[in-house]
């Protein structure tokens, strides 16, 4: 019988990430967003190492299984992005755990995200509401969503 260890929540400022951690997180993102979703686009956008960037992820056996990135935009608005779960870790509630942690991190601040249309209800459960028309990004329908300052 294999012993199951629950996923561990990790949170790091950009400057505190080790090279090994950053590599593992970027690999997870590329594996899902570029390879699995067949979207050849520049995943490395230059924002991962900005001083205010926060990285949150869940890991099992030292490997990231789910991840999201929090950017602090001008005016104190937070941008939630790069929400991703490894194919083998889906259905375990990892994205929900990460969003709960991210919302605790930003408190009452305003937040925005560009979410894939099929997960709008998921983000709505955290107080986000669609804003504007659906748009296509890398061949995938998205909606801009906003959670107002509380």
Note every long-range contact of 126-129, with CB atoms under 8 Å and residues 24 or more positions apart, other chains counting. 126/99, 127/103
Render the burial of 129-146: b for 16+ CB within 10 Å, e for the rest: eeeeeeeeeeeeebbebe
* Bridging pattern class, strands 78-85 and 63-72: antiparallel
pTM: 0.90
Cα 129 to Cα 51, 77, 143, distances in angstroms: 28, 15, 9
* C-alpha–C-alpha distance, residues 134 and 143, integer Å: 5
pLDDT in tens, the chain (150 residues): 555 668 999 999 999 999 999 999 999 998 888 777 777 766 778 899 999 999 999 999 999 999 999 999 989 999 999 999 999 999 999 999 999 999 999 999 999 999 999 999 999 999 999 999 999 987 889 999 999 998
For the CA atoms of the chain, what is the radius of gyration? 15
Domains of the chain with bracketed CATH = 6-145 (3.40.630.30)
123 with 144: CB under 8 angstroms?
A: no
């Amino acid at each position: 019988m294999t012993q199951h260890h629950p996923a561990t929540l990790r949170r790091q400022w950009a400057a505190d990430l080790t090279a090994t951690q950053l590599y593992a997180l970027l690999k997870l993102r590329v594996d899902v967003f570029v390879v699995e979703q067949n979207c050849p686009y520049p995943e490395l956008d230059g924002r991962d190492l900005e001083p205010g960037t926060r990285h949150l992820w869940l890991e099992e056996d030292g490997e990231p299984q789910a991840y999201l990135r929090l950017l602090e935009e001008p005016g104190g608005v937070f941008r939630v992005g790069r929400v991703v779960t490894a194919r083998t870790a889906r259905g375990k509630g990892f994205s929900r755990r990460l969003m709960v942690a991210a919302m605790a991190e930003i408190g009452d601040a305003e937040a925005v995200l560009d979410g894939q249309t099929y997960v709008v209800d998921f983000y709505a459960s955290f107080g986000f509401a669609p804003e504007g028309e659906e748009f296509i990004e890398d061949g995938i329908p998205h909606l801009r969503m906003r959670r107002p300052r509380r």
